[in-house]
Amino acid sequence: MGKQEIRCAAKVSLDKPAAEQACLHNRWHPDVPSCGTIKNGEVVKIECVDWTGGQIGNNDSADDVRDVDLTRVHYLTGPFEIETAEPGDVLLVEIQDVQPMQDQPWGFTGVFAKENGGGFLDELYPKPAKAIWDFEGIFCSSRHIPGVRFAGLIHPGILGCAPSPEILETWNKREAELISACSHMSRVVALPPNPQSVHVGSGDDSIKEKVGREGARTIPGRPEHGGNCDIKNLSLGSKVYLPVHVNGAKFSVGDLHFSQGDGEISFCGAIEMAGVITIKFTVMKGGMEQLGMKSPIYIPGPVEPQFGPGRYIYFEGFSVDENGKQHYMDATVAYRQTCLRVIEYLRRYGYDDYQIYLLLSCAPVQGHIAGIVDIPNACTTMGVPMDIFDFDISPHVKAEKRDLGSCAFASS
Amino acid sequence: MGKQEIRCAAKVSLDKPAAEQACLHNRWHPDVPSCGTIKNGEVVKIECVDWTGGQIGNNDSADDVRDVDLTRVHYLTGPFEIETAEPGDVLLVEIQDVQPMQDQPWGFTGVFAKENGGGFLDELYPKPAKAIWDFEGIFCSSRHIPGVRFAGLIHPGILGCAPSPEILETWNKREAELISACSHMSRVVALPPNPQSVHVGSGDDSIKEKVGREGARTIPGRPEHGGNCDIKNLSLGSKVYLPVHVNGAKFSVGDLHFSQGDGEISFCGAIEMAGVITIKFTVMKGGMEQLGMKSPIYIPGPVEPQFGPGRYIYFEGFSVDENGKQHYMDATVAYRQTCLRVIEYLRRYGYDDYQIYLLLSCAPVQGHIAGIVDIPNACTTMGVPMDIFDFDISPHVKAEKRDLGSCAFASS
Amino acid sequence: MGKQEIRCAAKVSLDKPAAEQACLHNRWHPDVPSCGTIKNGEVVKIECVDWTGGQIGNNDSADDVRDVDLTRVHYLTGPFEIETAEPGDVLLVEIQDVQPMQDQPWGFTGVFAKENGGGFLDELYPKPAKAIWDFEGIFCSSRHIPGVRFAGLIHPGILGCAPSPEILETWNKREAELISACSHMSRVVALPPNPQSVHVGSGDDSIKEKVGREGARTIPGRPEHGGNCDIKNLSLGSKVYLPVHVNGAKFSVGDLHFSQGDGEISFCGAIEMAGVITIKFTVMKGGMEQLGMKSPIYIPGPVEPQFGPGRYIYFEGFSVDENGKQHYMDATVAYRQTCLRVIEYLRRYGYDDYQIYLLLSCAPVQGHIAGIVDIPNACTTMGVPMDIFDFDISPHVKAEKRDLGSCAFASS
Amino acid sequence: MGKQEIRCAAKVSLDKPAAEQACLHNRWHPDVPSCGTIKNGEVVKIECVDWTGGQIGNNDSADDVRDVDLTRVHYLTGPFEIETAEPGDVLLVEIQDVQPMQDQPWGFTGVFAKENGGGFLDELYPKPAKAIWDFEGIFCSSRHIPGVRFAGLIHPGILGCAPSPEILETWNKREAELISACSHMSRVVALPPNPQSVHVGSGDDSIKEKVGREGARTIPGRPEHGGNCDIKNLSLGSKVYLPVHVNGAKFSVGDLHFSQGDGEISFCGAIEMAGVITIKFTVMKGGMEQLGMKSPIYIPGPVEPQFGPGRYIYFEGFSVDENGKQHYMDATVAYRQTCLRVIEYLRRYGYDDYQIYLLLSCAPVQGHIAGIVDIPNACTTMGVPMDIFDFDISPHVKAEKRDLGSCAFASS
């Protein structure tokens, strides 16, 4: 035996537009042609571009974030044909490692402009903003958010198998109904199929046309297959059990994150990066029925960074919004309030609100549903690990304002 | 020196109606008379009745749960005058221990009837149900849910300082607006002041009358003071920072839980118990401004039961409800779906759905806001610790139905 | 059902000499009469005196430590007859809880005088010293070692079943051989049977005489049954598997510790206390053969205080002694050096060496065998949790001398 | 900015003999010429060969282990000149990452023959043996020890700064005294300077000759600088504080381990591998005095694999050896007994003793000094994580013998 490297099932180029690469695609559709075949039981490496397909640069301006073309994002690597997988099976995906590209040891976190993407707090923080993170082995730090440094919990934001035509139809129908029902709202509530910038790997124009018309957008996760679930501890070392809906499973993966906070609140909120993921694939025949499975499940790996339960400050939020309006058991409202409580706390040290908004999006904060039954107030909490700061943020230590610089903003 | 016991600031009787005890009350109001004074810096023990005031028995019928009188619940111990505390201060509450009553080593978890209390899943599970938990030191187990056993993470469901008259008015106004706005809904969305069964400790009839008219119900937590926040890791060993709104703080505590899952989904969902809490009180002068505080914060203790990150199975839920309807970024809907995914998984072992509903309410499950920005789907997760089961619930082990008995139901 | 307390299998008095109590004894011998019977499967509470039988007081002098009568220590509660247990079985002991006596919420740590007991560092620190620890719920702190506070990991220093006559003979023989082989050494290397102050519970004079002649001293743990193993995480929540050597097992327990560091270096080094332990007893028939068992094994509980791996400072020690002499692979020498490295580090903050010696004995320090094969140097490490200090002991923060008072010393 | 890779300060070749590479050396001596310069504050990558310099192959025979040339081992990468470092300073080494070579994703664990290297249990297990470990991302498994799989805790076995001439002299003197004092023993107790196979990087013959005569062997760790400390959690993410004894520090590193158990008992006991380490270097001026430092200290990173305290089985060992002889407070003897207890336990599943010996050397077992004061018995413990096995090794589950293959043995 001797030397031997794990097979790389798909290589991407960071120097070529994502839209020109045959192993990438940016819609969920059963007809996107496979870019390779993987054996049942095989371990492979798969390279991924960052979720904006390289639109964001390592610089000190958020102009690129402001101007991002959101039709050209979420390029996934795949789909891969997994041998022997059939509808009704479960695809067991063991994430054995995730690493940034060796020659690109950095990532970014962005706040999208309210009018181009937005985010969880865009009513209050409508401006585009950005932080660049430098990777130092397992740690990262940012010149745009001084005073913090933490170990990543690297994970893919997106992984899943292709929908069947029936499932795809369900998705399109129910999201269209939402769009229609919310037509009075001033904000985009869901994204219908859109032919613009569709990329279907090596697929020809007729496939492209069909996928453009029917293909599901990759922004939301969806219960039937997972997709863009953006779960911070579905991470390296995890075993993920994915429902299979088409022959060969047609597995895709992308949107790698060096780290993410619960909620990924600024939308482009994780530390987004290009990288390579190592996965072992195993097919569980008839797994969906066996597991009673409607949505993916997973078991995290044993290597999550550990701070000790007593090293977090927890903030509480309730479903009374910032205008004093009482909402009924609304965990979304409560979580927004929880985030605002953290911003109020951390700004005392000299951080700009946008810096904190970026930080809470990507640092390993714990967002919990605490109480969801005490009418009318849902209560959520956010635990902020003290040890990611290089100064003491304990409540018993008097806060001093310091010079903590600035994140990147857009030119005006 | 030598022998010496920590002072008990309030003793309760489990043999006497809660409504007859001078150190208990069941409304938030600044005029409820103090039942004792505690020094700044003092450590005391405080006894508490269970949140139903003893209405639930250690037996095998849920008739008591079905018939519970919800105007006679949430009897809190207090309020206590904390020396030197003034509005604008922060009261630091160090929870040094929480223990069940020595002679009552058991607790209960209930599912309320949909028409009398309800719960997070009452559309699907409308019947009353109950499980009794026996405490074996730090562990608990239930004859009504065989096959599980776990260490408690004991905590008070409710703690907080009295509202000022202004804050009380705000509460009553905004909750009244919600009630009025939701008058078309078939369910109770909030509870207005109600003179029935008001108890104000040693207060006389005029106070009782006033508190009955104005006093805030204790069911919801509220941002201004915490209250019934029902947070599972605001637990023994925690330091809690509470805003002070009236002279002397008027601190109350109650609703002790031996254990609770994130969300406490069945409403009477924690393992409810009578017990004694040991607290150190410290006043931080001017703390609210210093901490930029609008809602309580806390730092958990170091003794949370630890399973290792790889000993949880995580379930995903999205904001598409059980009828297939797409909701917009609704974490409450997503969390309900997450709970249903766990029920579907665990029923394969022979558990009745109500047993699982009870279990998820009180076992140390981790409920996370995972993604809250990927329109239109909020994604939440629930991590279920495998090690609380005495059989292997790993997905790779074939589930076998076993005889797992039954929880307590009501007679028909 | 309703109210019910767990049965207390043995009550002790803190106001009466240990030597007068029928449920206590201070030798290992199969003929010590049982003080009670426990059913297979039963849960009971057992009260214990502190290991000195109350010789040490809550005061500020170490005179009592200096003058301690070491023939009157290690009073164990028991022995208990466990129904159905026979030689060759394993007794499964589930430690469901351990608590200090409610009316004696304090404990002590002592450094014995070199000439009366000694300790691991007695060549360097020959004087008697003492620290009193006040229990504040799950935490403890000491007026004699200011600046530290930590949660206990409460455990029994001693638990085990009685030896058979054959095993007892083995013990006496091999320890006598050591004593004889080391007769040239200036220090006591082992304690032979000694009739002085023998206590055999309710046993009559003939038993007393026999036990005085043959009974094994309780100071050392021994491989055949465990005994005084002094293991810091054989603690509340643990399952301990003990070999049974006589009919009825004759289980004894005592020497409760609120907390202990690895090594318990000052000998009277844990936080010694009187208290009550709650245990479930289960007999595994034929367990010794089934488990291939020669010495006890255990599985810790899930509630050990957790600091996070990055919250420890680790110190290294090698088997080169303080005189510069190279020893061959001697982990004992290496561990002594490791302890000295910590003392050197912590004295920079103003602690007296004796204070640190006491602290390392009882705080939750992690003592590891790191490398035991790199001739000639064994390497051991000690991890000191930073979070037990109320000031920052990180190496990157400049140490400042503070006034940290003094531990208790003996009058001269 | 944009793409940029961390500078690699030294590259090694796995296809060329270690003895021919200018950035490697295999003795501690101040005169070994530096192979490069690193700035104060710089982050660099450093490549390392495995500690045998490539003598062990990925095959199924232990002939290579049996025949290993122990004069040609421990090739360290370096020494590196760290700018501004002077004697008395402390070199802060932040281990930001450690990875195996991408094209060599495997490592090995060996038991050396008693007559050529030996190990901790060589009296009982004198034969050479070997296990090859395949790396699957963060996990490893071995065809030679089926049924186990675990995440690595990657670390360097050796790191340190060069000794000054005075320190070197001390080492040589004290180890010579030991050799002389133990001349009656049948085993090698220490290794004196030896000119055979000396490698001094780019150094010329005169340096080679001098280093051959005076240079300290790299096998033992030593208190003055650390060196081959073989500490399992001095690992990725750690901050290590190293004493500086010569101008420029002359830092060297090597002997990378994918994983190691406490004690590294089989000597070639970690999972040995070639790889690359990423380090940030910072000089603390005057650090030795400031920290009162005689030996290195370190703070582990936050990413240690976590199993939960209740997922370990702990075994106890005492200082009574396998012949029944009582030793006086000998932690080395106690730890050997502890290891034997684990072997007895695990062999019930069908493992060969040599497989277990290999496994305990490299899996993340916790070896603790438990009690070191209860004369005459030292007590040590070893915690074995249950979750590294793919079958249940709980004591309450009856052990079944299975076919667990064999490790690699030497041909006879």
Tell whether omega for the bond before B376 is within 30 degrees of 0, i.e. cis: yes
D368 and C370 in contact by Cβ < 8 A? no
At residue B3, the pLDDT reads: 52
Q: Choose among B228, B262, B292: nearest Cβ to A369.
A: B262
CATH 3.10.28.20 fits D309-404, yes or no: yes
Q: Please check whether residue A365 is in contact with residue A371, taking contact to mean a CB–CB distance below 8 angstroms.
A: no
Interchain CB distance below 8 Å, A310 and C307: yes
What's the gap in Å between the CA of A326 and the closest CA on chain D? 40
Chain D positions touching B390 (Cβ under 8 A) are none
pLDDT digits (tens, 9 = 90+) for A91-110: 999 999 999 998 899 999 99
Q: What are phi and psi of C25, to 5 degrees?
A: -155, 165
d(CA A257, nearest CA chain D) in Å: 17
H/E/C letters for each residue in chain B?
CCCCCCCEEECCCCCCCHHHCCCEECCECCCCCCCEEECCCCEEEEEECCCCCCCCCCCCCCHHHHCCCCCCCCCEEEEEEECCCCCCCEEEEEEEEEEECCCCCEEEEEECCCCCCCCCCCCCCCCCEEEEEEEECCEEEECCCCCEEEECCCEEEEEEECCCHHHHHHHHHHHHHHHHHCCCCCCCCCCCCCCCCCCECCCCHHHHHHHHHHCECCCCEECCCEECCCCCCCCCCCEEEEECCCCCCCEEEEEEECCCCCECCCEEEEEECCEEEEEEEEEECCHHHHHCCCCCEEECCCCCCCCCHHHEEEEEEECECCCCCECCCCHHHHHHHHHHHHHHHHHHHCCCHHHHHHHHHHCCCEEEEEECCCCCCCEEEEEEEHHHECCCCCCCCCCCCCCCCCCEECCC
Instruction: For residue C261, give both structure tokens.
Output: 């560091």
* Of the candidates A150, A135, A156, the residue with the CA atom closest to the CA atom of residue A233: A156
The pLDDT, as a whole number, for residue C187 is: 86
Pick the CATH number of C309-405 from 3.30.565.10, 3.10.28.20, 3.40.50.10420, 3.40.50.300: 3.10.28.20
Cβ contact (<8 Å) for D136 and A305? no
Residue of B nearest to C136 (CA): B96
CB of C112 closer than 8 Å to CB of D373: no
A contacts of B347 (beta carbons < 8 Å): 292
At residue D1, the pLDDT reads: 44
Distance from C-alpha of C310 to C-alpha of A387, rounded to nearest angstrom: 9
- Distance CA(A321)–CA(A337), nearest Å, equals 7
Q: What is the pLDDT of residues C337-351, one digit of tens each?
A: 999 999 999 999 999
Whether pLDDT at B11 is above 80: yes
Best mutation target among A155, A303, A387, A389 (most D Cβ atoms within 10 Å) is A303
**Beta carbons of B310 and D309 less than 8 Å apart:** no
Identity of the amino acid at D253:
V
| Contact assignment for B311 to D392 by CB distance below 8 Å | no
Q: Where are the beta strands (DSSP E) in C62-146?
A: 76-82, 90-100, 106-111, 129-136, 139-142
Average pLDDT by consecutive 10-residue portion of chain A (412 residues)?
77 94 97 98 97 94 96 94 98 97 95 95 97 96 98 97 98 96 89 95 97 96 95 96 98 97 95 97 97 96 93 97 96 97 97 98 97 95 97 95 97 87
In chain A, which residues have their Cβ closer than 8 Å to the Cβ of D103?
A: 3-5
Other CB atoms within a 10 A radius of the CB of residue C122 amount to 20
Contacting residues for B371 by C-beta, under 8 A, at least 6 apart: A221, A228, A229, A230, A231, A263, A264, B377, B378, B379
pLDDT of residue B15: 92
Cβ atoms of D272 and D108 within 8 Å: the answer is yes
Question: With contact defined as beta carbons under 8 Å apart, do B244 and B290 qualify?
Answer: no
Arithmetic mean of pLDDT, B77-104 = 97
CA distance C310 to chain A (A): 7
What length is written for chain C?
A: 412
Gap between the Cα atoms of D251 and C13, Å rounded: 62
Contact B158, B251 (CB under 8 A): no
Residue B185: pLDDT band (50, 70, 90) is: confident
Q: What is the percentage of chain D residues whose pLDDT exceeds 90?
A: 95
C237 to chain B: which residues are within 8 Å by CB? Answer: 137-139, 151
**Residue A376, preceding bond cis, omega within 30 degrees?**
yes
Q: Cβ contacts (< 8 Å) between B307 and chain C: which residues?
A: 302
Residues of chain D contacting residue B311, judged by C-beta atoms under 8 Å apart: 307-308, 311, 387
**pLDDT value of position D4:** 72
Q: Which CATH number fits domain A8-299: 3.30.70.1060, 1.10.3720.10, 2.160.10.10, 2.60.120.580?
A: 2.60.120.580
- For residue C18, pLDDT beyond 90: yes
Q: What is the pLDDT of residue D2?
A: 47
Mean pLDDT of all residues in D99-108: 94
Residue A337: predicted pLDDT = 97
B-C interface: how many C-beta pairs under 8 angstroms? Answer: 94
Sequence letter at residue B143: R
From chain C, pick out residues whose CB is under 8 angstroms from the CB of A309.
Answer: 306
Could you tell me which residue, D135 or B185, shows the higher pLDDT? D135
CB B365 within 8 Å of CB A179: no
Report whether pLDDT(C2) > 50. no
Sequence ranges of the domains in chain C: 8-299, 309-405
Determine the Cα–Cα distance for residues D323 and C410; give it in Å rounded to an integer.
43
Distance between CA atoms of residues D37 and C65, nearest Å: 57
Q: For residue A305, what is the nearest residue in chain C, using CA coordinates?
A: C308
Name the residue among D84, D154, D63, B175 with its Cα closest to residue A320: B175
- Residues in chain D closer than 8 A to C332 (CB atoms): 329-332, 372, 378
Give the CATH fold of the A309-393 domain.
Answer: Endonuclease I-creI (3.10.28)
Residue C310, both tokens? 């990055």
Give, rounded to a whole angstrom, the gap between the first and last alpha carbons of chain B. Answer: 60
Residues above pLDDT 90, as percent of chain C? 95
Least trusted range by pLDDT, from A163-167, A178-182, B107-111, B183-187:
B183-187
Q: Crossing angle, helix B331-346 and helix A331-346, to 10 degrees?
A: 120
A1–D138 C-beta distance less than 8 A: no
| Average pLDDT of chain D, as a whole number | 96
When the candidates are 1.10.287.70, 3.10.28.20, 3.40.50.2000, 3.40.50.300, the CATH number that belongs to B309-394 is 3.10.28.20
- Asked if C368 and D370 come within 8 Å (Cβ–Cβ), the reply is no
Read off the pLDDT of each residue in D128-142 and give the average, rounded to a whole number: 97
pLDDT for C361: 97
**Sign of the four-CA dihedral C307, C308, C314, C318:** positive
- Reported ipTM: the value is 0.96
More confident residue, D74 or A128: A128
Which pLDDT tens digit goes with each residue over D325-383?
A: 999 999 999 999 999 999 999 999 999 999 999 999 999 999 999 999 999 999 999 99
The number of C-alpha atoms within 13 Å of C297 and in the hemisphere containing its C-beta is 30
Q: How confident is the model at residue D219 (pLDDT cuts 50, 70, 90)?
A: very high
CB atoms within 10 A of CB B103: 11
What pTM did the predictor assign? 0.96
What residues of chain A lie within 8 A of the CB of C311, using their CB?
Answer: 307-308, 311, 387
Answer yes or no: is pLDDT of D173 > 50: yes
Q: Best residue in C138, C149, C303, C311 to probe A by mutation, most A CBs within 10 Å?
A: C311
**Interface probe, candidates A345, A374, A381, chain B, greatest B C-beta count within 10 A:** A374
The strand pairing partners of D158, in sequence order, are: D254
State how beta strands A379-385 and A366-371 pair.
antiparallel
Give me the mean pLDDT over the D168-178 stretch.
97
Q: Are C310 and A307 a contacting pair at CB < 8 A?
A: yes
